[in-house]
Structure 1
Amino acid sequence: MSRVAFYAPLKAIDHPVPSGERTMARLLLLALAVAGFAPEVASTLRTRDPDGSRHPALRAASLAEAERLIAAYRADPPALWFTYHVYYKAPDWIGPAVSRALGIPYVVAEGSRAPRRASGPHALGHVGAEAALDAADLILVMNRRDRPALEAARPGPQVLADLPPFLDPTEWPLAGAERTPGPLRLLAVAMMREGDKLASYRLLAEALMQLGNRPWTLDVAGDGPAADEVAALLAPFGDRVRRHGAVDATGLSALYGAADLLVWPAVNEAYGMALLEAQAHGCPVAAGGYGGVADVVQDGVTGRVTPPGDAAALAAAINDLAAAPDRLAAMRIAALAFARTERGLDGAAARLRAALAPLLGERA
């Protein structure tokens, strides 16, 4: 069984704060194992730098970590190095150095190029990310938004292969929750922090304002430093909004199972794991079409993908689905099948096996 050195520079799998990033890192480790590899976490050094001020120190720490790993691996190197998520705010200075020294393939899952960051506070992070992406033998594209830039700068022998976002259905057992008659039951699941998340909550509040006289309720699962701002945004809707704070997987599963529709503007989301998790419970989605949202929501089949940043369009999509219960019911069935089969763990493992095996001289 081929050993795979795994690294997630943006957020390690044991980071205490839950997020879609941590979830996907854990899922990739699991998928590698299901694909027949033996993944092992090589390092937990985090290179995330929101403002660029720590890139020099992080680069130095990364290069020291690379030297340590090269020495540790020299007698018994892994078959390849696998890094999850590389971009200018979280470059990988470790993987390319270790791979080069040991003569093993270097693989990146979800890599993003950003030419506009070549100057300014993130210039060093940009250089690090670009060098890592240039060094990759294989880049697994998880967000369709990334592909054009990756194609344009692709070194000759580099391979790009699609790996759509996925989940493990066994982590989300269907509890048989029944959707009760009554007002349309909406659900939002997201952390509460400044920036894109708070911008999404603002757009959500705008959309709710435009639902007219249609009866509805909204359950909100999430917490964070911007919780007070989110509470203020949703306060005008009174007791139609129920805030649950941070919710564990069991609680989330119950909320997904009871909701009629997950609604989320998804401002600058890479794809949004909650959108996929909801569908795995038979809950359709109405979401803003940022980034790779269209990779996890099939517009018109498992939900609606609306123009990015358009609160009116999101409200119209909600109203249209609420007025067509038969269509919403058909979307529930389609969402369940899509998330649990096409975006399930087994399919992702098969894609990983097919993409990685040629690098190792193995059969897919």
Structure 2
Amino acid sequence: MKIAFTAPMKPLDDPVPSGDRTMGRLIVKALEAGEHEVRIASRFRSWRKDGSEDLQRAVKRDALAEAERVAKEWDAANYRPDIFLTYHLYHKAPDWIGPALADRYSIPYAIIEASRAPKRRTGPWAFGFSAADEALSRADQVAALHRADSECLSDVVPKDRLRVLLPFLDTSPFETDSRPAQADSISGDKPLKLLTVAMMREGDKTRSYEVLAAALGKVRDLPWHLTIVGDGPARDHVLSLFPPDRITMRSALPPEDLPAQYAAHDLFVWPAIREAFGFVFLEAQASGLGVIAGDTFGVPDIVIDGETGLISPEGDAEAFAQNLRKVLNDRPLAARLGETARDHIKANHRLQAGTRRLNAFLEAAQDQYWHRMPLDKRYAATDLT
């Protein structure tokens, strides 16, 4: 299948690393593994930090001009995709390009990772909210990456066009049995090796670090040592939250260096405040690490509470600390969580599983487009007239 792809939230080659960029790249990789031909239709970014109707109208004008440019490029190359696929759409990042091109070329339109916040129906984001809803209504198939988003989308997307497409990853870099340090810290008296991986930005990331620091402060009587992998403008504040003698700071690392960090630790810890699902939880579990996590949006969809990790209410430092204490007082539990986590990822979240789910999603979009097509156009498409 020939797939035209765009990501209005963040282009796939954006220089700033994020779980969003990683997931977008993985979607393309899984599609190509399924022998689809993926073409990046546009790098246009509709996302804006601040909202106002005038600003969003200007973005819409630029987006439609970009759609016209893409159409001319396609026509010159005699290119016509089988489907237009948009990754990550919401009120701050509406998609005008996909619907315009899908209508122009009479092809199905599909969206992966859509979210909807009804409180944005009015106020400075009302124009973007309405535009996102229009794209959702036009879509032949919409996939949320977790159940919480799916529930919000059900008000505007019919049930037969809405599904949950669980996230996935390429597990090959993380599937290693070399965990030489684990036996000492789990079976002996050495501090349990904790790991967290997250950027240091103001807002929810910083709040997550604050909850983590507060929770760890409640278990200072037990032996643990935390490695932090991350960097950003809030670095000084974040580091001030933790006792220097109990942490190792690794700064931000390139993706290829992360598997070794996971393999060298015993437990992954992150409150994940307001995160869609936390891509790091997939990586940690694929590496054989159990996790201590916050009950945020899609986290329960990828972390099995009591089996691959322990989940506490979002932002609750006391409950997070209780889960930490449970593992710190039962070292073999860390190993059991990690073993189950690795098996869980292999069974449900590998790239191959992503390819199968994406194939089913695209086929459903094509079926929906066909059934929604007026009969005269349907007959013309099959040369029956």
Which amino acid in the other structure matches residue 247 of structure 1?
Answer: L
The AA in structure 1 aligned to 2:64 is L
Residue 155 of structure 1 deviates from its aligned partner by 4.1
Task: State the partner residue of 1:76.
Answer: 79
Query: How far, CA to CA, are the matches of 1:134 and 1:249 in structure 2?
Result: 37
Asked whether 1:122 is paired with 2:129, we answer no
* Unmatched 5+ stretches in structure 2: 368-385
Cα distance between partner residues in 2 of 1:35 and 1:4: 12
User: CA shift at 1:358, angstroms?
Assistant: 4.1
Contact kept, 8 Å, 2:31 with 2:358, in 1: the verdict is yes
Relative to 1, partners in 2 of residues 1:231 and 1:212: Cα closer, same or farther, differing over 3 Å? closer
Name 1:296's counterpart in structure 2: 302
Letter aligned with residue 20 of structure 2: E
Superposition map of 1:194-343 within 5 A: 194-234=202-242, 237-343=243-349
TM normalised by structure 1 equals 0.94
More off after superposition, 46-55 vs 161-170: 46-55
Which residue of 95, 104, 109 maps to 2:112? 109
- Further displaced range: 297-306 or 47-56: 47-56
Using the alignment, how far apart are the partners of 1:229 and 1:125 within structure 2? 34
Q: Which residue of 2 aligns with 1:32?
A: 31
The Cα of 1:286 is off from its aligned counterpart by 0.4
Please say if 1:16 is aligned against 2:15.
yes
Stretch moving more, 112-121 or 343-352:
112-121
Aligned match of 1:133 in 126, 133, 136?
A: 136
Contact 1:270 1:290 in 2 (8 A): yes
Matched, 1:4 2:3: yes
Larger Rg: 2
Which consecutive unaligned segments of at least 5 residues does structure 1 have? Answer: none
Query: Structure 1 stretch 321-330 or stretch 181-190: which is displaced more?
Result: 321-330
1:168 to 167, 170, 174: 170
Output aligned runs, 1:147-158, within 5 Å.
147-155=150-158
1:92 and 2:95 aligned: yes
* CA drift at 1:162: 2.1
Tell me, yes or no, if the aligned pair for 2:24 and 2:87 is still in contact at 8 Å.
yes
CA contact (8 A) 1:36 1:353 kept: no
Where 2:113 maps in the other structure, the secondary structure is: strand
Q: Find the partner of 1:193 among 196, 201, 204.
A: 201
AA aligned to 1:339 is I
Instruction: Tell me how far apart the structure 2 counterparts of residues 358 and 151 of structure 1 sit (CA, whole Å).
Output: 17
User: How much has 1:241 moved relative to structure 2?
Assistant: 0.9
Alpha-carbon offset, residue 138 of structure 1: 0.3
- How far, CA to CA, are the matches of 2:216 and 2:338 in structure 1? 22
Q: CA deviation at 1:172?
A: 3.0
Per-residue deviation, residues 139-171 of structure 1 (Å, max 9, x unmatched): 112121111121222247x51122101101124
2:168 and 2:349 in contact (8 A); partners too: yes
Aligned counterparts of 1:191 and 1:66: Cα–Cα separation in 2 = 34
Matched, 1:142 2:148: no
Describe the SS at the equivalent of 2:102: helix
TM-score by length of 2: 0.89
In 2, distance between residues paired with 1:298 and 1:350? 22
Aligned to 2:371: none
Which letter maps to 2:13?
Answer: D
Contact 1:165 / 1:295 at 8 angstroms: preserved in 2? no
Structure 1 residues 107 and 171: CA distance shift in structure 2, 3 A: farther
| 1:84–1:242 CA distance, 2 compared to 1 (3 A) | same
Q: What is the Cα deviation at residue 360 of structure 1?
A: 3.9
The root-mean-square deviation of aligned C-alpha atoms, in Å, is 1.7
In terms of mean alpha carbon deviation, does 173-182 or 58-67 score higher? 173-182
Q: Secondary structure at the match of 2:225?
A: strand
Aligned-residue offset at 1:173: 4.6
C-alpha contact (below 8 Å) 1:218/1:241 kept by paired residues: yes
Which letter maps to 1:148?
E
Shift of 1:13: 0.9
What CA deviation, in whole Å up to 9, does each residue of 1:1-54 have, x standing for no partner? x11001111111100111101100000001111223111111111111121154
Question: Any idea what the Cα deviations from partners look like across 1:236-257, whole Å, max 9, x if unmatched?
Answer: x122111111112243212111
- Tell me the CA shift for residue 342 of structure 1: 1.0
CA displacement 1:215-235 (0-9 Å, x = unmatched) = 11000000111111112222x
Corresponding position of 1:354: 360
Q: Is the 8 A contact 1:256 1:283 kept in 2?
A: yes
Q: Return the letter of the residue paired with 1:38.
A: E
CA distance in 2, matches of 1:150, 1:106: 16
Secondary structure in 2 aligned to 1:152?
coil
> How far, CA to CA, are the matches of 1:197 and 1:238 in structure 2?
20
Where 1:242 maps in the other structure, the secondary structure is strand
3-state DSSP class of the match of 2:64?
Answer: helix
